[in-house]
Amino acid sequence: MPDGVLLAVATFLLLNVLVGLARVLAGPSTRHRLLGVILLGTTGTALLAVLAEATDVAALRDTALALVALAALVVVVRVRAEERGQ
């Protein structure tokens, strides 16, 4: 894919991250904030993957994999905490 298209996609994803950050900051409840964090994790992963492809920097791809693993871990921890009633 041409670099211009990849950078346009990266810009769109960055805007999506900013909207997700607003959701995290303004969320009326913990569940809304958790959804915002999940959105930030998945969108941030997509953003890093697109930037890795556009710039040909493998470290960005590795960082994207680490970010998605951390986002999944946050979800598991939160669900387990809710099951225990915390």
pLDDT by residue (tens digit) across 35-80? 888 888 889 999 999 999 988 999 999 999 998 888 888 888 888 8
Across 73-86, b (16+ Cβ under 10 Å) vs e yields: eeeeebeeeeeeee
Six-digit token string for 38? 């999940």
* Full-model pTM: 0.80
Q: What are the residue boundaries of the structural domains of the chain, listed by start?
A: 3-83
Higher per-residue pLDDT: 47 or 27: 47
- Quote the pLDDT of residue 2: 78
